[in-house]
Structure 1
Amino acid sequence: MSKRDFYETLGVAKGASADEIKKGFRTKAKELHPDSNPDNPNAESEFKEANAAYEVLKDAEKKAAYDRYGHAAFEGGMGGARQGHPGQGNGDFASAFSDVFDDLFGDFMGGRGGGGPRTRAQRGSDLRYSMRVNLEDAYTGLQKTITVPTSVGCDKCSGTGSESGVEPVACPTCSGMGKVRAQQGFFTVERTCPTCSGTGQLIKNPCTECSGAGRTEKNRSLSVNIPAGVETGNRIRLSGEGEAGLRGGPAGDLYIFIEVENHTIFERDGVNLQCRIPVSMVSASLGGDIEVPTIDGGRSRVKIPSGSQSGRQMRLRGKGMPALRGGPTGDMFIELAVETPVNLTSRQKELLREFGGIEADNSPEESSFFSKVKTFWDGMKS
């Protein structure tokens, strides 16, 4: 009886791409699953047929030979059939499906990893440390020593986890693979080896200091350089300063997250600073000079124009924060807040009443506003 065309078996067109062939086989594998075909006694043989087709078409060389010679490419006239060749359809079903399982799901389950044993060394975890700095330190930068609780390599066993430096042996349960396989119907499922926890090796004589882990818990002091211009949310990475690796594996990294505290005088906006300066009604009316603080600890003299109102802003160039990765320094913006006097003496009240009596168009904004109000009321009446 003539064999069925491999492309037809997988439900794809001739000349289909590798992705189309794999997709077609996945669809067939689902269709032929025994749970979906309880009344189909031919499910296993049909799956073998699909598997045989896939084994040929997924291989570029075999596919090229099949496209040219058909089934004859794998029969005696074309070099003979190999024992257990996929084209013969006589391989063990569970073994065949196990291979397919690895091919389809190896990326998610860890695969076979080339068939070799897993390495016992494992990279250490990354660590996070939150650091608060004030705005002055963010302006100048600083060097700070921090204490980090972490895992470090065991000194007694030099990180090997084994007493007296004795080398670990391959796990007898998984033969050093780190995984074991269990047959479930047509499927072969891989799980982490329960004996070695996936390391693939066992330590017969574990170190008494670290119990075979190759690392111990300890507080470490580290000197950290905080660059000028850091902001809240900035992250500093210290390579290899995280948790020590398991059984001699490489250490993880330490990430320091910066939080800049709020300041009592300045408010930060990127590289710029805002500073609200209260001024008396007299100074705002007559004008004058005031001294304002700067983030570097200095002072700057600022001239207030006469007739200044609350909310007026003035800029001091280059008096802001430095840029973290180069670039020009920010500016400092001063916002005036004209203060109404309180706790007036009798003489002060008398003078203000006198001023109010002789006031002549000294409040243009007030006059403009109430002029608009009068127009609004007149319009409502009409």
Structure 2
Amino acid sequence: MSADEGVRADWATKDFYQVLGVAKDAGAAEIKKAYRTLARQNHPDSNPGDSPESRAKHARFKEVAEAYDVVGDPDKRKKYDELRAAYSSGGFGFPQGGTGGFDVSDLFGDRVRAGGGGGLGDMFGDLFGSRARTTTTQPRPRRGSDVETSATIGFTDALEGVTISLRLTSDSPCPACSGTGGKPGTRPHICTECEGAGFVVASTGGGFTMNETCPACGGRQLVYDEPCPTCHGSGRGMSARTIQARIPAGVKDGQRIRLKGKGGAGENGGPAGDLFVSVKVRPHRVFGRAGDNLTLTVPVSFDEAALGAEVKVPTLAGSSVTLKLPPGTPNGRTFRIRGKGARRKDGTVGDLLATVEVQVPAVLDQATREAVEAYRAAHGGQTLRAGLFEAGT
């Protein structure tokens, strides 16, 4: 008997309903619920270590997964039920209730020993595979990789939002093998390292274990004896593309923007990864930013600060507003101009914070010097530091 025939005969004698603890006429929802409960109880992650009890749980997990793979699929379940009915009744030449000394290769071989025509191997070949475990497991869909890039935008664009073009070079499925990693035209077989699970259980020390991507198949579950000559078996290739990315209004310097589904392409129908854009904002010549508010330094002269003045200050929109300085305005005082800042996510607008900076002339002409000396004389020679540095104060 070939390995394929042995697998089929073995499956024909297994009661997958009993493995899952459900009745033969159980509905799909009940079967799924039973599978999830048993898988959670027996999963290697829930039963770490290499004790006899853990090994038994791991074996039980494989049995449950095998059972659900058949009866959890409507088409496979129908054919499995037909096979089991023939087996239990002695139909198609099965001895009733068991194989005994019966040669099941008569039923699962390419030809029935008693005469021409296909055996049950032909009838149920699409359930169990045409060769020994070559196609019983379909590769799981795999999510594409995330892609990182950066973009530099202007100060105004950061406040108002902007659409930019990004040139990306990313990992994508190999065009020659469509991401399988195998030489085109060849057929895969189940990975013997992970037994088709796509992962292996590795010990991290201290009695802890964790699932790791299978190093032999890279998580694909299937392996090829002949690797793809283009990607050398990796299943990946490099691709360059240009995408249009929308940077939302109000983005801050150094902020990381996530663009869902704009990353690397998935495998086997899996979703694409995400694109993460680190935004750098060029500084503005005049304005700064503090959260949702804009900041502005306003230079004023001594007489404007001392006597009061009306000073025109710019806004980011291009217009100007008049800032009224009261007499005796100190250096460093900040005035709030409402509604002239950055736009928030809810549509409201922050404020413009204008900070006064009193300018002291580096060079005085004769007339100005005389005026300042007259101010000093009128001030009576009093110093602002009187008593500041005296001991005990």
TM range, smaller chain = 0.5 to 0.7
Distance 1:378 1:178 in 2: 79
Aligned mates of 1:160, 1:280 — CA distance in 2:
74
Mark the CA change 1:353 to 1:129 in structure 2 (over 3 Å): closer, same or farther: same
Partner amino acid for 2:196? G
- Native 8 Å contact 1:322 1:328 kept in 2: yes
Is the Cα contact below 8 Å between 2:143 and 2:272 reproduced in 1? yes
Offset at residue 311 of structure 1 (A): 2.0
Q: Equivalents in 2 of 1:349, 1:100: separation in Å? A: 95
294-303 or 264-273: bigger deviation: 294-303
Partner of 1:146: 166
* Alignment pair present for 1:354 and 2:368: no
Q: Please say if 1:278 is aligned against 2:299.
A: yes
SS of aligned partner of 1:125: coil
Mean alpha-carbon deviation: is it higher for 306-315 or for 93-102? 93-102
Whether 1:373 and 2:387 are equivalent positions in the alignment is yes
Counterpart of 1:208? 229
Displacement of 1:122 in angstroms is 2.9
Aligned 8 A contact 1:285 1:306 in 2: yes
What's the counterpart of residue 240 of structure 1?
261
State the Cα deviation string for residues 205-248 of structure 1 (Å, max 9, x = none). 54433334433112221111111111235432222222233566
Q: Does 2:365 correspond to 1:345?
A: yes
Q: Is the 8 A contact 1:118 1:177 kept in 2?
A: no
Structure 1: how far apart are the matches of 2:244 and 2:339? Answer: 31
| Partner AA of 2:311 in structure 1 | I
Deviations 1:71-111 (A, max 9, x none): xxxxxxxxxxxxxxxxxxxxxx99765214568xx8xxxx8
Q: Which has the higher helix share?
A: 1
2:35 paired residue number: none
Query: Is 2:249 the partner of 1:298?
Result: no
Counterpart amino acid of residue 271 in structure 2 = P
Moved more, 117-126 or 138-147: 117-126
1:222: which partner in 2? 243
TM-score (norm. length: structure 1): 0.58
CA distance in 2, matches of 1:216, 1:379: 77
Question: Residue 291 and residue 165 in structure 1: after superposition, are their counterparts in 2 closer, same or farther (change >3 A)?
Answer: farther
- Change beyond 3 A, Cα 1:378–1:269: closer
Q: State yes or no: 1:99 paired with 2:56.
A: yes
Tell me by how many angstroms 1:144 deviates: 0.6
Conserved? CA contact 1:118–1:199, under 8 Å = no
Work out the CA distance in 1 between the residues paired with 2:64 and 2:283.
52
Superposed CA deviations along residues 328-366 of structure 1, whole A, max 9, x for unmatched, are 200001111111222112232122222333x258x9xx7
Q: Distance in 1 between matches of 2:195 and 2:309?
A: 88
Is the 8 Å Cα contact of residues 243 and 253 (structure 1) preserved in structure 2?
A: yes
Change in 2 beyond 3 A, CA 1:172/1:351: closer
* Amino acid across the alignment from 2:55: S
Superposition map of 1:82-97 within 5 A: none
Aligned to 1:114: 65
Displacement after TM superposition at 1:269 (Å): 1.4
SS at match of 1:373: coil
Within 5 A, what are the aligned runs for 1:187-198?
195-198=216-219
**1:277 alignment partner AA:** V
Range with greater deviation from structure 2 (148-157 or 219-228): 148-157
Q: Which residue of 2 aligns with 1:267?
A: 288
Distance 1:194 1:343, change over 3 A: closer
In 2: Cα distance, 1:275 partner to 1:151 partner: 45
Write out per-residue CA displacement over residues 181-209 of structure 1, whole angstroms, 9 at most, x where no aligned residue.
99xxxx9x998766434533122454433
- Partners of 2:199 and 2:313 lie apart in 1 by 70
2-side partners of 1:234 and 1:311: how far apart? 30
Aligned to 2:334: 313
Q: 1:309–1:205: structure 2 CA closer, same or farther, 3 Å change rule? A: same
Partner Cα distance (1:194, 1:347) in 2: 86
Change (3 A) 1:120 1:204: farther
Structure 1 residues 292 and 155: CA distance shift in structure 2, 3 A: same
State the TM-score, normalizing by the size of structure 2.
0.57
Q: Would the alpha carbon gap of residues 123 and 378 (structure 1) be closer, same or farther in structure 2, given more than 3 Å must change?
A: closer
> Quick one: distance in 1 between partners of 2:242 and 2:64?
39
Give the C-alpha shift of residue 141 in structure 1. 1.1
The amino acid of 1:214's aligned partner reads: G
Deviation at 1:271, TM superposition (A): 0.6
Matches within 5 A, 1:318-333: 318-323=339-344, 325-333=345-353
How far 1:166 moved relative to its partner? 5.2
- Displacement of 1:307 in angstroms is 2.9
Q: Distance in 2 between matches of 1:244 and 1:378?
A: 74
| DSSP 3-state at the match of 1:242 | coil
Q: Quick one: which amino acid aligns to residue 151 of structure 1?
A: D
Q: Deviations over 1:265-308 (max 9, x none)?
A: 22311111221111111222333332212222332232333332
- AA matched with 1:318: G
